[in-house]
């Protein structure tokens, strides 16, 4: 989509970040461009070392880009120190000030901005209520639990009403249950405050649950930006498909292409239709991806696109996974949701066919 | 047959006896070499002085304590304030405070610099700071004398640059003592400061900048409160030896600028007034105690505040 300057909360334009120099130089970000819309819950998702935290730190001002610009509502902020950017960070370690109480921590940013005393007091009370910490206002930060510290860190960063809130893997230190709760809490806070959130995580499930849009990163590059649905259903690259959810990759021959859809021939000879990533014109051999829940086990020959032998049937409570060895030798997994009346059906060693749901196959750029 | 409980009790008693035996050498040294002499000093301070030093044993007198602050008029025996003693007391306290402030001003940036170096080079810097400890205090003091004397480094440089015509008299002044003590005691400030700055979580500084604090505000609101234990420890470590300094004022202050240490030496030596010397010694100790009390209170308070 076209992006006009100023209409986005953040515009990152051709930003490169190189640490070190000479032969020790490490490129943390390799010419990254991305636009983050106002009032959006935007997630940078990728494995550790992919550059997502570097990008966040560049936006916060803790690092300066080697090349490129970073615009905040159309204004270049790449050269400003962090205390001159209307952007706040929730740190992975929370970084709460240990010599201050909960309320003093929340008030800190407002005090540094020189806001009047009554305003600070009112705002701190409002923030404490927002994160439901009213009764712990005068505790030391060392006297509260990890989950509570997390809330204080959020309240502290939200108190000065930043234009953009940056969150650096804020949930990674919490246990599973607490993390689930905080995911919903974060979404609520973003909705209530109307502030643009940029959230960094390596947890795909977290990204899918909370985000309006996700940017998938690896090796200092952004591979794909899209809604959680886009990213999951229409991965453009093998890395994206592999990193998020489970995938079956199939080698295929491109037969014809028209209007973002290609007809491809599988190894079995069956021809199916696959979606093509924007701006890509495939030809020759290509890889397509099919999610395990987008395929069904069918009797052989009965409209099946693939044929093979059942190798394993794995019962997982809500689902059953069927591992099939396709005739060309690749492994294909089909997921079926369990229901009380569903027939148990297949056993290992049996022959079966696979039907791929219409519109489920996605052709990969590489 | 001994019951199990009896055996256990016997073993416990044996343990206790062994522990006492093991600590006995240390305890004996503390009593004989430290606490004992202190009581001797306390007793001497309440006795009458003998004519050629020493005391008249068992003759009670408050004269020693009285003459810490007062002196008798030569003609009519009335008491007046001992101006010389008061000015020495004041010089000791003020020079020690100045030394503490100067070492803090010089030591803080040094310690911060060292603590922010990469782990590998940090050790080298710490090593460099500790090098002066390997040199005898007297030698270091004479080295300082070479720098500040009239024909020394500073004056020669200033004169040859044409900034001054005649040498700037630093030797035998309070400034000379201050410079000497700042130089000698600086490592005692740097090391505890370094220890506490090194423990500082630098992400807190980032958090401060992120929350709109300027460099100065980060220093004042985050760094200083968090490294306060180091500041207090360093200040005490510098203040206490400064207060009792003897060699430095002797060498750099000449006979003119005396501190408490020199006054005490004078009373036990040429002054032949042991009760007065003892009384001043105990006064000095009391001052140190006050400083330590301040330290203990400060540490326990900041300890409580960190949960």
Q: Is residue B174 part of a domain?
A: yes
Instruction: Locate all alpha helices (DSSP H) within chain B, ordered by sequence.
Output: 4-29, 36-45, 63-69, 83-115, 119-130, 137-148, 153-160, 174-198, 202-210, 215-218, 224-243, 247-252, 260-268, 274-305
Shared domain check, B121 and B20 = no
Low-confidence ranges of chain A (pLDDT < 70): 1-6, 302, 341-345
Across the interface, which of B201, B211, B222 has its CB nearest the CB of A109?
B211
- How many structural domains does chain B have? 2
In chain A, the residue whose alpha carbon lies closest to the alpha carbon of B201 is A95
Domain interval for residue B99: 86-272
Shared domain check, B95 and B39 = no
The answer to whether A177 contacts chain B (CB < 8 Å) is no
Q: Is residue B65 part of a domain?
A: no
Across the interface, which of B206, B211, B305 has its CB nearest the CB of A112?
B211
Between chains, do A95 and B207 touch, taking CB under 8 Å as contact? yes
Shared domain check, B217 and B116 = yes
In chain B (307 residues long), the average pLDDT of successive 10-residue segments reads: 80 90 92 90 89 82 85 75 86 94 95 91 91 87 89 88 86 90 94 93 92 93 92 92 91 85 89 89 90 80 48
Contact residues on chain B for A99, CB-CB shorter than 8 A: 225-226, 305-306
What is the predicted pLDDT for the residue at A134?
87
What is the predicted pLDDT for the residue at B102?
96
Contact residues on chain B for A156, CB-CB shorter than 8 A: 211
Q: Is residue B249 part of a domain?
A: yes
At B258-303, the pLDDT tens digits run 899 998 988 888 888 889 999 999 999 998 898 888 878 876 665 4
ipTM of the complex: 0.81
Domains annotated for chain A, with CATH where assigned, are 8-233 (3.40.50.300), 246-363 (2.40.50.140)
Shared domain check, B103 and B37 = no
At B187-218, the pLDDT tens digits run 999 999 999 999 999 899 999 999 999 999 99
Q: Is residue B282 part of a domain?
A: no
DSSP codes, A70-135: EEETTEE-TTS-GGGSSEEEE-TT----TTSBHHHHHHHHHHHTT--HHHHHHHHHHHHHHTT-GG
Shared domain check, B242 and B109 = yes
What are φ and ψ of residue A47, in 5° steps?
-70, 165
What is the predicted pLDDT for the residue at B186?
94
What is the predicted pLDDT for the residue at A307?
83
What is the predicted pLDDT for the residue at B306?
45
Contact residues on chain A for B207, CB-CB shorter than 8 A: 89, 91, 95-97
Q: Is residue B66 part of a domain?
A: no
Tokens linked to A217: 């990163």
pTM of the model: 0.79
Shared domain check, B113 and B23 = no
Shared domain check, B235 and B140 = yes
Contact residues on chain B for A142, CB-CB shorter than 8 A: 306-307
In the DSSP assignment, the letter for residue A357 is P
Q: Which of A7, A10, A29, A8 is nearest to A18 (CA)?
A: A29
In CATH, what number is assigned to the domain containing residue B196?
1.10.3720.10
């Amino acid at each position: 989509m076209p992006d006009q300057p100023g209409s986005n909360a953040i515009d990152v334009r051709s930003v490169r970040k190189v640490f070190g120099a000479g032969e020790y130089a490490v490129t943390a970000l390799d010419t990254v461009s991305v636009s983050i819309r106002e009032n959006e819950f935007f997630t940078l998702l990728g494995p550790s070392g992919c550059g997502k935290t570097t990008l966040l730190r560049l936006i916060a001002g803790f690092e300066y880009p080697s090349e490129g610009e970073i615009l905040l509502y159309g204004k270049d902020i790449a050269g400003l120190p962090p205390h001159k950017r209307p952007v706040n960070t929730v740190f992975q370690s929370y970084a709460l000030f240990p010599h201050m109480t909960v309320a003093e921590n929340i008030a800190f940013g407002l005090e540094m901005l020189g806001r009047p005393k009554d305003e600070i007091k009112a705002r701190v009370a409002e923030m404490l209520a927002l994160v439901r910490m009213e009764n712990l206002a005068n505790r030391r930060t060392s006297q509260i639990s990890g989950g509570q510290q997390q809330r204080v860190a959020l309240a502290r960063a939200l108190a000065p009403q930043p234009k953009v809130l940056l969150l650096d893997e804020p949930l990674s230190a919490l246990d599973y249950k607490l993390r689930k709760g905080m995911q919903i809490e974060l979404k609520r806070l973003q909705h209530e405050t109307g502030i643009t959130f940029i959230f960094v995580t390596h947890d795909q499930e977290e990204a899918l649950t909370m985000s309006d849009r996700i940017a998938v990163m690896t090796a200092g590059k952004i591979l794909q930006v899209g809604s959680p649905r886009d990213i999951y259903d229409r991965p453009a690259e093998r890395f994206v498909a592999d990193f998020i959810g489970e995938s079956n990759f199939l080698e295929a021959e491109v037969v014809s292409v028209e209007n973002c859809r290609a007809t491809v021939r599988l190894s079995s000879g069956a021809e199916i239709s696959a979606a093509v990533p924007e701006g890509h014109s495939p030809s020759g051999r290509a890889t397509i991806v099919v999610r395990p829940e987008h395929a069904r086990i069918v009797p052989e020959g009965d409209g099946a696109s693939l044929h093979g032998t059942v190798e394993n049937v794995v019962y997982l409570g809500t689902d059953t996974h069927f591992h099939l060895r396709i005739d060309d030798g690749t492994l294909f997994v089909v997921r079926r949701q369990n229901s009380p009346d569903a027939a148990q059906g297949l056993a290992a060693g049996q022959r079966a066919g696979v039907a791929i749901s219409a519109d489920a196959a996605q052709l990969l750029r590489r | 047959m001994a019951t199990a409980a009896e055996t256990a009790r016997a073993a416990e008693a044996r343990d206790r006896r062994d522990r006492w035996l093991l600590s006995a050498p240390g305890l004996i040294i503390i009593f004989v070499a430290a606490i004992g002499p202190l009581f001797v000093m306390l007793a001497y301070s309440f006795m009458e002085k003998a004519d050629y030093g020493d005391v008249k044993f068992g003759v009670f007198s408050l004269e020693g304590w009285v003459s810490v602050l007062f002196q008798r008029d030569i003609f009519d025996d009335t008491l007046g304030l001992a101006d010389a003693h008061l000015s020495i007391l004041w010089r000791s306290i003020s020079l020690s405070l100045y030394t503490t402030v100067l070492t803090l001003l010089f030591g803080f940036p040094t310690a911060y610099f060292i603590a922010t170096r990469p782990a590998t080079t940090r050790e080298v810097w710490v090593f460099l700071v500790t090098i002066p400890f390997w040199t005898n205090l007297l030698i270091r003091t004479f080295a300082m004398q070479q720098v500040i004397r009239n024909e020394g480094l500073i004056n020669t440089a200033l004169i040859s640059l044409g900034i001054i015509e005649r040498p700037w008299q630093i030797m035998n002044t309070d400034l000379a003592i201050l410079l000497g003590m700042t130089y000698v005691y600086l490592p005692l400030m740097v090391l505890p400061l370094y220890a506490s700055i090194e423990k500082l979580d630098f992400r807190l500084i980032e958090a401060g900048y992120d929350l709109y604090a300027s460099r100065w505000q980060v220093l004042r609101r985050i760094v200083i409160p968090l490294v306060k234990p180091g500041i207090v420890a360093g200040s005490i470590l510098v203040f206490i030896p400064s207060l009792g300094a003897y060699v430095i004022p002797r060498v750099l202050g000449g006979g003119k600028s005396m501190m408490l240490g020199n006054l005490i030496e004078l009373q036990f030596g040429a002054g032949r007034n042991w009760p007065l010397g003892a009384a001043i010694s105990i006064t000095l100790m009391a001052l140190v105690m006050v400083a330590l009390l301040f330290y203990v209170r400060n540490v326990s308070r900041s300890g409580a505040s960190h949960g």
